[in-house]
A = this chain, B = another copy of it.
């Protein structure tokens, strides 16, 4: 089932390099491997903090609900025995989608968390701004957004306010709630240009594609399926306003490879604020990563890419993912050197920058 997939590679790497498993998983080795892993997990050297140090992680960013008090982050930051950075990320999707069930309750919670009256549009915007400040105070450097598209068409403020009230009253049309969400994504860009949170976009996925599985197992259970993405026109209002503004930074992620050479690389090549995000989710794999570098580099170079980040929930796969990415980038650089498209000393320098300079700059770490 997993042959030729990164899941297989990650599994091999986790078992072999972290847990010291030498046997190939199979019916004849399953019990042996289970026992070996179980024994290791009981060892204090395999506790999460110990592994975190062993993995050499500089920064780990969680994604968090804007209403989260971030107490766990504060606890960790205050812990004298803990030196690595674990920072929150502002993830406001559900608060920006009046068309989704439970939006009215979410907005009410937002008002409580921000101690602000969100019965009107102005208070709602102020509440979002306040929660962003709360996140920044707790170390956040980014705000992460994932909607069906990334259109950023502005609404006149009275129209936004009118739709907001209608949505709370349950009378907004679908077209209105979509228009409001797009307007609010632009607003998120405005706030990022003001408070400095890097804006990261992961659009164009049909979440919960299979409703029966959603009902039985809940969201994030393997049936989110990508859609076509469009950035050129969608982001134009946002980039017209903030694309060349100092301090504003935007990282574009996609699972639609067609935009790599057609839209993302040209946008990152012109706008000093735009970074081409690392291949993500289904594309976080050897051949896809190579396609990404080949599609993006000729237009945007290396400096306009974020460098690799993973978004795994499988903690033990982190070393394997970063190791794989580094090997692939080095392989790509080696090809350029072998074809006399880059000098060897430049390739050595770029290989290091891609894991040091680039992600620190792109995500303001």
Contacts and interface: CB of A to CB of B under 8 A. Distances in A.
Interface stretch (A111-119, A177-185, A293-301): A293-301
Contact of A6 (B285, B294, B298): B298
Interface stretch (A65-73, A135-143, A150-158, A208-216): A208-216
B243 A210 contact: yes
B226 A3 contact: no
Interface stretch (A75-83, A89-97, A162-170, A229-237): A229-237
- Residue from A225, A255, A282, A291 whose CB has the most chain B CB atoms within 10 Å: A225
A5 to B, nearest CB: 5
Nearest to A339: B286
A125 interface: no
B257 A282 contact: no
Contact of A285 (B206, B236, B240, B298): B298
A342 B4 contact: yes
Nearest to A229: B262
Interface string A271-285: 100000000001101
A341 B3 CA distance: 8
A198 interface: no
Contacts of A209: 232, 236, 239, 267, 270
Given A5-B299, A282-B299, A287-B295, A227 B222 contact: no
A63 interface: no
Interface string A189-217: 00000000000000000100111110000
A226 B262 contact: yes
A100 interface: no
A362 to B, nearest CB: 15
A5 B303 contact: no
A250 to B, nearest CB: 13
B226 A211 contact: no
B210 A239 contact: yes
A227 B301 CA distance: 20
A350 interface: yes
A282 B262 CA distance: 8
Given A227-B232, A258-B258, 9 more contacts: A3-B346, A5-B298, A206-B236, A222-B270, A225-B266, A227-B263, A256-B262, A282-B299, A291-B294
16 contacts: A3-B350, A4-B297, A5-B297, A5-B298, A6-B298, A9-B341, A210-B240, A210-B270, A223-B270, A226-B263, A226-B266, A228-B258, A261-B282, A266-B282, A286-B298, A287-B294
